[in-house]
Chain A
C-alpha cells in the first residue's frame, strides 16, 4: 500500500511542475497591462513605467520566472495588487469556506444518490426506480447557478425561510474560534450552537444547489453499476448459497458496484471545485472561487496564479485519494502496483 502511495505521488510531480509553468506563462500572456491598470486611468506613461518597475514587470520573462520559483519555494505566492495582502494568507482564509461548501454538498449528494441508486437497481421498475430517473434527469438539466438563483428567489425572497445570500454567517454573529476553518465543525467543537445553526442556514441553499447537480451522475452510475453486478455470476452463486438478501446486496453486490461510483465521485468532486466559482458569486460566498474571479477581472496575476496552483494541488491530492480508495476496495488494484 505504501509503495502504491509513493508511486502515485511520484507521477503527480510532473503535473505539478507543468501547472507551475503554465500558470506563470498564461498570466503573463493574458491581454491587459496590470501596470497601466494600477497606475490609474489618468496616469502618465512615466507613472506607468514606475509602477511597472515596482512590480518587477520590466524584467525579462525568464528572470521573472526565476523570481517566481524562488518565491514559491519559500511559500510565497506574491501579494495581491488590489488588496496588498499576501496571496497565501488570503487563500488560507478563503479555502476553508470553499472546502466546507464543496464537501458539505458532496456528502449531501452521496448520502442521497447512493441509497437512491442502490434501491432503484434492487427494485428495478418500481416507483423508486422512476423517482431515480426523474431526479437524475432533472439534476443534470438544471445548471448550478440557475438552481442557486431560483433557491435564493424562492426561499429567501418569496418565502423568507432562508437567510439573505450574504456569505457564511449572518452579520450579527461572529465567526467561531478558528480550529479547522470549517464553521460547522468549529462551532460544534466549541459548543456554540447559535453560530452552528446560523452557519448551517447560510450553507443550506448553496450546498443543496450544488448537491442537486452532482447527485445525478452519482445516482445514475450507482444504479447502472448495481444492475450489472446484480446480474453477474457470483451474485447467482451467492443467492444459490442461500445468503441473506442483505448480504447479497451489500457485502457482495454493492462492494463490487462501488468501484465505478468512486471514479465518478472523483470527477464530480473536481467538477464541484470548478462550479464553486458560480455558486460563490450567486451567494456572495467568501471562497477562493469568488476571489479568483475578482482577481481575473482586475488582471491581478498573483491571486490567479495562487488559485490555479491551489486547485492543481487539490486535484492531484484528490486523484491520489481516489486511487488509494480504489486500492482499498479492490484487491486486484493493489496487485498491479
Chain B
C-alpha cells in the first residue's frame, strides 16, 4: 500500500449558520483515499456526504463555514488555501461531478465550449486548439459521433450523455482526484452501470483516486475498494468493501446493510432504520449522534467517541461494536 494517500481529510468540522441557529453539519470527519483507489462515502440523506465533498472542493454555500480540520492533498492543506489558489487547482488537480447532469450543465452553451472553457482555463489547450481537444475528450468518454456532439446543447442530449459530458469536463485536465456526488441519480439502471463502468475505467487508466458519494450500498459494493459510512456528520465506520459487507461492526452499518436490497433479500424483508437523524441544531448533541436510535447503547456511549481500529484499515467509531 502506498504510504501517502491522494487525499487525507482530518478532523473536518463544518457549521451552517441558519435563521434557526447554527447547524453542526460535520463533526471531526476523517478518512483518506489512496492513489488509484475508489472510496465510497455512504449514508442516508443529510448525513453530510455532499457537504464533505463541497468543503474539500471549497465550494461550500456562503452560509457554511469550516471550523476545524485539514484536507491534505498533494502536500498542501486545501482548506487553508486562498480562494484564488484553490480555483487554480479545481478542475485541474481535483474535480467533481454532480447528480442531475442535465441541470449541472450550462443550458445555453454548447457542450464542446463548456469542455473547452475548462481546458483553456487550466492550460490544457489554447483557444484555437480547444475545439479539437473537446472532440478528443468526447471520444475518451465514448460519446458516439463526437464531431457533431460538440456542437450540441445540453437539452439536445439524453441524461446519460449529459453525465458523460460532465465526466469529460471533470477529467479534461486529468486530475489526480475525482469526487463523484451521486453521479447516477436520475439515470435509468442500465445507464447507471455504463456511467459507473466508464468512471471506473478512466480512473484505472490514469491511476486517479475516486471518491464516490452514494446512498446506494449495492452500487458502492460493486465499484469501490473501501467504504466510509457516515451518519449525521460523523464517520461511524470505514472498512474495505468486502469486509464491511461480511462483518459490519457499527450498529448503524448493520442497519444500513439490512435496509439495502440485494440478490437474496426481497423488498418485504428489508428493515427500515428506526428513528431519524438528530436535530443538528441542538446545543446538547450527544457524543454519539446515533445513540438515540441505537439498540446497543450502553452507559459508555455518553463519553467522547473512540476510533477503534479493528484489523487493517477497519475503523469503527463506537463503544459497543458488534
Contacts and interface: CB of A to CB of B under 8 A. Distances in A.
Contacts of A243: 87, 91, 117-118, 121
Contacts of B170: 241
B108 A244 contact: no
**Which interface class (under 10, 10 to 19, 20 to 34, 35 or more) fits A?**
20 to 34
Interface stretch (B96-104, B252-260, B262-270): B96-104
B261 to A, nearest CB: 29
A329 to B, nearest CB: 7
Contacts of A237: 98, 104-106, 166, 169
Interface in B66-96: 86-92, 95-96
Contacts of A238: 106, 117
A233 B103 CA distance: 6
A238 B88 CA distance: 13
Interface stretch (A63-71, A140-148, A218-226, A250-258): A250-258
Contacts of B156: 335
B89 A236 contact: no
Given A239-B90, A241-B90, A241-B170, A332 B121 contact: no
Interface size bracket, B side: 20 to 34
A245 B59 CA distance: 13
A240 interface: yes
A26 to B, nearest CB: 43
Contact of A240 (B57, B122, B153): B57
Contacts of A239: 59, 87, 90
A117 B76 CA distance: 38
B109 interface: yes
A205 B122 CA distance: 49
Q: By CB atoms of chain B within 10 A, which of A232, A238, A247, A255 has the most?
A: A238
Given A242-B122, A243-B117, A234 B104 contact: yes
Nearest to B153: A331
Given A244-B121, A331-B153, A234 B106 contact: yes
Contacts of B109: 251-252, 255
A234 B103 contact: yes
Nearest to B57: A240
Contact of B118 (A236, A241, A331, A332): A241
Secondary structure dominating the interface of A = helix
Nearest to A232: B103
A321 to B, nearest CB: 19
Given A240-B57, A240-B59, A242-B89, A233 B104 contact: yes
Contacts of B117: 238, 241, 243, 247, 251
A241 B95 contact: yes
Given A236-B59, A332-B155, A242 B87 contact: yes
A236 B104 contact: yes
Interface in A196-246: 232-234, 236-245
Given A239-B90, A241-B91, A242-B90, A233 B100 contact: yes
B86 to A, nearest CB: 8
A248 to B, nearest CB: 9
A335 B156 CA distance: 10
Given A242-B122, A256-B107, 15 more contacts: A234-B103, A234-B104, A237-B104, A240-B95, A241-B91, A241-B121, A242-B90, A242-B118, A243-B87, A243-B91, A244-B121, A255-B108, A330-B108, A332-B107, A332-B153
24 contacts: A234-B105, A236-B98, A237-B98, A237-B104, A237-B105, A237-B166, A237-B169, A240-B59, A240-B90, A241-B170, A242-B86, A242-B89, A242-B91, A242-B92, A242-B95, A242-B121, A243-B87, A244-B87, A245-B87, A251-B117, A255-B109, A256-B108, A329-B108, A332-B153
Q: Which are the 10 A-B pairs with shortest beta-carbon distances?
A: A242-B90, A242-B91, A241-B91, A233-B103, A240-B96, A233-B104, A234-B106, A241-B118, A237-B104, A242-B87
Interface of A: 232-234, 236-245, 247, 251-252, 255-256, 329-332, 335
